[in-house]
Amino acid sequence: MQYKKISIKLEGYLKYKYSSNVLELHYSKPVTIHQVLKDAKISSADVFFIKTGDLMVKEDYLLTKSTEVKLFPVIGGG
């Protein structure tokens, strides 16, 4: 069985909040980013946008092969 390796790279303050800047998960079938976030115990409320490769995607994006997913935090200020 071929497993897909999903590497999650946390940007900004997310790497401190979740005490790591890269997480790896393995799946035997295609998986949505929503499920990856849930399995990694990352709150979607902390994530402003998601990139995989050069694409900006939403949580319903289906990951069908091994890839790196970058999560960028909500940025506040004013």
Which helix (H) or strand (E) is 38 found in, with range?
helix 33-39
Question: CB atoms < 10 A from the CB of 36, how many?
Answer: 21
Residue 41 lies in a domain: yes
Residue 63 lies in a domain: yes
Express each pLDDT in 9-25 by its tens digit. 999 989 888 877 889 99
Q: Quote the pLDDT of residue 72.
A: 96
pLDDT-based confidence at residue 75 (cuts at 50, 70, 90):
confident
CA 6 – CA 11 distance, rounded (Å): 16
Q: Which amino acid is at 46?
A: D
Residue 52 lies in a domain: yes
CATH of the domain at 12: 3.10.20.30
Express each pLDDT in 36-66 by its tens digit. 999 999 999 999 999 999 999 999 999 999 9
Residue 78 lies in a domain: no
